[in-house]
Amino acid sequence: MVTAAGPTKRAHVLIAAERLPTRVGLRLALEPEARCTEAADAQSAVDAAVRERPDVCLLGLDPSGQGMRVVNEISTRVPSACVILLTNELDEEEFMAAVRAGASGYLTQGLNPERLPFVVQGAMRGEPAVPRRFVSRLLDELRTRERRRSVVLAGKGRVAFTAREWEVAEMLLRSATTSQMASELGIAQVTVRRHVGSIERKLGVSTRAEVVALLSAEAGSAAPA
């Protein structure tokens, strides 16, 4: 494919969808500009991503089922790949969950097929494939999280968390269980426990109850009078 700016790299795209017509439609929209690999279920998608190391992964998998887990696992194991989640119906909360799981794009499966090659090339240049109406929500979320990813505790100074640790900490404050956190964040329960352990070590405590007590006290002291 050649544009006014010169030749572009021929992308390698992993197409993962349970329905054969979906996979065929995406492949037809992308070829011959892209080399396509297909996967028909969640585990096959992860295996193919790890094996093939594609540039872009188009995931037409049910976000309420295995879709979020696949987004997270591919993003973690193949960080060079741009993961775009395709959904039947756009939903703002689902979009934010996809971003938290590691997706760099979230689009409807009803996207005009003629646009798909441009979406893929844009993703490879680092451009997020995001509906315009969700951009302001994403920016607000990022600004809020940057302000709140560290806390100042008496006798401990400033304690900084990673983005994922802060998400887990927020859910602890909401009394979420390990299972609930894993489901909402699209990660394994063992990964949730690892993040909880890291939070406890940073705060110098040994239980979730102590984490909640410390963070609740900090939030109360920071609240305006």
Collapsing DSSP to helix, strand or coil, 11 comes out as strand
Collapsing DSSP to helix, strand or coil, 18 comes out as coil
First to last CA, the chain: 61
Instruction: Report if pTM > 0.75.
Output: no
Say if residue 7's pLDDT is above 70: no
Class of the domain covering 2-140: alpha beta
Nearest-angstrom CA–CA distance, 84 and 172: 29
149-220 folds as: Arc Repressor Mutant, subunit A (1.10.10)
Backbone angles phi and psi of 86, in degrees to 5? -105, 130
Q: From the CB of residue 133, how many other CB atoms can be counted at a distance below 10 Å?
A: 10
Nearest-angstrom CA–CA distance, 105 and 150: 27
What's the pLDDT tens digit per position in 171-216? Answer: 999 999 999 999 888 888 999 999 999 999 999 999 999 999 988 8
What's the pLDDT tens digit per position in 23-61? Answer: 999 999 999 889 999 999 999 999 999 999 999 999 998
How do 6-7 and 11-17 pair as beta strands?
Answer: unpaired
Q: From the CB of residue 119, how many other CB atoms can be counted at a distance below 10 Å?
A: 21
Q: At a CB cut-off of 8 Å and minimum separation 6, what does 47 contact?
A: 39
What's the pLDDT tens digit per position in 83-106? Answer: 999 998 888 888 888 888 889 999
Q: DSSP label at 129?
A: B
Domain edges within the chain: 2-140, 149-220
Out of 21-30, 59-68, 99-108, 137-146, the most confident range is 21-30
